[in-house]
Amino acid sequence: MKFQLSKTQSSVIGDIRLDGSKSISNRALMIRALTAKPFEIQNLSTSEDSQAMQRLIGKVDGTLDVGPAGTTFRFLTALYATKAGQQILTGSTRMKQRPIGPLVDALRGLGADIAYLEKEGYPPLRINTPENLGEVGEITVPANISSQFISALLMIAPTLPNGLKIFLQGKLVSASYLQMTLDMMAYFGISYRFSEQKIEVPPQQYASKTYRVESDWSAASYHFAAAALAQEANLTLRGLQKESMQGDAVAVSLFSKLGLQVDWLPDGLTITKSKSVKPLLEHDFIRCPDIAQTLAVVCGGLGVVGTFTGLETLSIKETDRIHALKVELAKIGVSFVKAPARFSPKTAKTFYMVEGKAHWSSPPEFSTYHDHRMAMAFAPLSVIAPVKIDDPSVVGKSYPDFWKDLTRLGWEIELVK
């Protein structure tokens, strides 16, 4: 199945209420599962990932298939490592290609009983009743692994008999998601100490408190992208918070360099076009990797040179996003490549460059690689001229109403062969 997207007028005008953040929702569900007394979660994400989390989190003694939901798999691995009974935790073909070894190693170091059922270091897993879980009270983990691994360990930490000390080795990636986890734990009464390369969480109990989930800044980024590529914009996005715990809230700053202005409202913001576009966008995406694709596509659409760092985790997402960006941007005459050595100081960082201005005479067909963010990152290009998106249903993973919201904003969406 393919969608062809088009827009009669190159303007983005309207009013959209955004869904709850998937990242925050899944953490709230995990914390509720670890809390003695249930509590209400308001504005919970309707994403397939969060639905999978809700559906599976209370299951006992059986096979749990999370599909492509990476966060769900990682959080449930830690949760069921603390529970009695036996679980088989599995997922989609792509999920079985995504490494889980560092989290399993850490949990085994704490006393968990986990076995690989197929390839060593990868799902599926068999998780049995642990013996003396948490008596060891400290572990060392690589800091450059997915923050979801560390977040999963942190959330179970207060429930362990001796709490947990986590020593982080190396450079921390996706630090904003780690801080999100700690901030949410603090809301539910958990104290912690985070100093340099060590996080300490004493044994304690989560407090039961009603929690309202912020709307999703990752979802908002696609509307920012459409506004940046349009000739005119007056778009209100409701549910976003100015003081947000989401790293993707940096979209306000980044898109200000791409010609957008934000005016804050009591329950969200309004985007307009009023600033000139800078010829170069430089950013380290280590705290906000989920919007890197979006910014790469917008740079290509506007003909802005982009130099991006902090993309270390992109190759182990739903697809290898670095490879996917390179292939799909090439279809519209834009290059996405690792920068020459002269752009990469010895200290370290790997740079990727976006160069060229997008152009096409007939609708290009963009593959999504079963990756929701590929579909939503490339869709905004249709405000310039029609494009085709393959496998459009993948957006359900994080933003089920994405196509409906585009229709509300004036897009024409046609199912094509």
CATH number at residue 73: 3.65.10.10
Considering the domain architecture, whether residues 186 and 298 belong to the same structural domain is answered as no
Q: How many domains does the chain have?
A: 2
Coil, strand or helix: which one is 64? strand
- Looking at residue 316, what is its pLDDT? 60
Question: Which positions ≥6 away from 345 have C-beta within 8 Å?
Answer: none
Residue 351: phi and psi, rounded to 5, are: -100, 145
Considering the domain architecture, whether residues 145 and 205 belong to the same structural domain is answered as yes
At 341, the amino acid letter reads A
At 137, the amino acid letter reads G
Rounded distance between C-alpha atoms, residue 354 and residue 294, angstroms: 12
For helices 22-33 and 48-56, angle between their N-to-C axes, nearest 10 degrees = 10
Q: Which residues make beta-bridge pairs with 338?
A: 352
Considering the domain architecture, whether residues 229 and 203 belong to the same structural domain is answered as no
List the catalytic residues: 290
Residue 308: phi and psi, rounded to 5, are: -115, 135
Considering the domain architecture, whether residues 226 and 324 belong to the same structural domain is answered as yes
Which run of H or E residues covers position 377? helix 372-378
Q: Specify burial of residue 186 (Cβ count, 10 A radius: 0-12, 13-18, 19+).
A: exposed
Considering the domain architecture, whether residues 178 and 34 belong to the same structural domain is answered as yes
- Looking at residue 318, what is its pLDDT? 64
Q: How many other CB atoms sit within 10 Å of the CB of residue 222?
A: 27
Could you please report the per-residue DSSP string of 320-350?
A: -HHHHHHHHHHTTT-EEEEPPGGGS-TT-PP
Coil, strand or helix: which one is 352? strand
Could you please report the per-residue DSSP string of 160-201?
A: STT-EEEEEES---SHHHHHHHHHHHHHTT---EEETTEEEE
Last residue of a domain, one of 192, 212, 232: 212
Q: Which residues make beta-bridge pairs with 277?
A: 258
Residue 110 sits in which domain range? 22-212
Among residues 298, 309, 307, the alpha carbon closest in space to that of 353 is found at 307
Considering the domain architecture, whether residues 219 and 192 belong to the same structural domain is answered as no
- Looking at residue 327, what is its pLDDT? 95
Which residues in the chain show pLDDT less than 70? 174, 313, 315-319, 340-348
Considering the domain architecture, whether residues 328 and 275 belong to the same structural domain is answered as yes
Last residue of a domain, one of 195, 212, 229: 212
- Looking at residue 342, what is its pLDDT? 53
Q: Which residues make beta-bridge pairs with 199?
A: 166, 194
Considering the domain architecture, whether residues 299 and 371 belong to the same structural domain is answered as yes
Question: Which positions ≥6 away from 207 have C-beta within 8 Å?
Answer: 35, 188, 189
Among residues 218, 209, 261, the alpha carbon closest in space to that of 239 is found at 218
Rounded distance between C-alpha atoms, residue 399 and residue 374, angstroms: 12
Could you please report the per-residue DSSP string of 202-252?
A: -S-------EEPPB-HHHHHHHHHHHHHSSEEEEEEES--SS-S-GGGGHH
Q: How many other CB atoms sit within 10 Å of the CB of residue 187?
A: 15
Considering the domain architecture, whether residues 188 and 227 belong to the same structural domain is answered as no
Last residue of a domain, one of 162, 194, 212: 212
Among residues 51, 36, 43, 41, the alpha carbon closest in space to that of 17 is found at 43
| 59, 135, 185, 219, 410 from 163: Cα distances, Å | 25, 9, 14, 35, 53
- Looking at residue 143, what is its pLDDT? 85
- Looking at residue 147, what is its pLDDT? 84
pTM: 0.88
Considering the domain architecture, whether residues 191 and 255 belong to the same structural domain is answered as no
Considering the domain architecture, whether residues 397 and 293 belong to the same structural domain is answered as yes
- Looking at residue 236, what is its pLDDT? 98
Residues 263-299 pLDDT 10s: 999 999 999 998 789 999 999 988 888 899 999 999 9
Considering the domain architecture, whether residues 112 and 66 belong to the same structural domain is answered as yes
Contact 77, 127 (CB under 8 A): yes
